[in-house]
């Protein structure tokens, strides 16, 4: 048994929870594994914001929707469930698939502005590619600019996701 597993199992056993552990574990695994295709899974759960790498059955759709290079589709793409359907995203240089950062402050941007007090932009490498705003510095303070993308009802950049049809 691996070293990292021994201690948690010891705690479970000492607390008398071992029977519960073996009952709950299969149910938890079944909820995510099962034989559901992504289409079946999304119909069943309706909304699930977890980003999952696509199974082989979604590769042709990813190629068609994004022009993804053959062989890289699984590493650069994700699917999630929204409104009972499958949505697909293919990561790009400035195309994050995760939820958008709607924060009104970004600590790294504040630090950048201390060293660049009147910069008319703050690089995405500083703010993060997931921010919904353009950022600038004014007298050493990070200031939000205009919003740079539409956000869908689940909090993701709408333009980065395509519905599987």
Sequential pLDDT tens for the chain (165 residues): 444 443 443 433 344 443 433 334 333 333 444 568 999 999 999 999 999 999 999 999 999 999 877 888 888 999 999 999 999 999 977 789 999 999 999 999 999 999 999 999 999 999 999 999 999 999 999 999 999 889 999 999 999 999 999
CA 1, CA 30: separation in Å to the nearest integer?
23
Residue pair 99/156 in contact (Cβ under 8 Å)? The answer is yes
* Among candidate residues 150, 161, 149, the one with its CA nearest the CA of residue 80: 161
pTM of the model: 0.73
Per-residue model confidence (pLDDT) at position 14:
42
Per-residue model confidence (pLDDT) at position 34:
53
For tokens 């941007």, what's the residue? 109
Beta-strand pair 77-82/85-90? antiparallel
Per-residue model confidence (pLDDT) at position 70:
81
| N residues, the chain | 165
CA 102, CA 147: separation in Å to the nearest integer?
9
User: Would you give the DSSP letter of residue 21?
Assistant: H
């Amino acid at each position: 048994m691996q070293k990292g597993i021994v201690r948690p199992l010891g705690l479970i056993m000492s607390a008398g929870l071992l029977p519960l552990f073996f009952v709950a574990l299969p149910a938890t695994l079944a909820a995510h594994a099962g034989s559901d295709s992504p289409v079946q899974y999304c119909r069943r759960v309706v909304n699930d914001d977890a980003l999952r790498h696509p199974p082989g059955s979604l590769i042709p759709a990813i190629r068609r929707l994004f022009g993804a290079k053959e062989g890289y589709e699984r590493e650069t793409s994700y699917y999630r469930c929204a409104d009972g359907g499958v949505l697909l995203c293919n990561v790009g240089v400035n195309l994050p698939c995760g939820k958008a950062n709607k924060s009104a402050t970004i600590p790294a941007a504040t630090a950048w502005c201390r060293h660049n007090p009147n910069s008319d932009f703050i690089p995405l490498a500083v703010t993060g590619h997931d921010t919904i705003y353009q950022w600038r510095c004014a007298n050493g303070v990070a200031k939000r600019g205009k919003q740079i993308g539409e956000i869908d009802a689940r909090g993701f950049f709408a333009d980065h996701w395509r519905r599987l049809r």
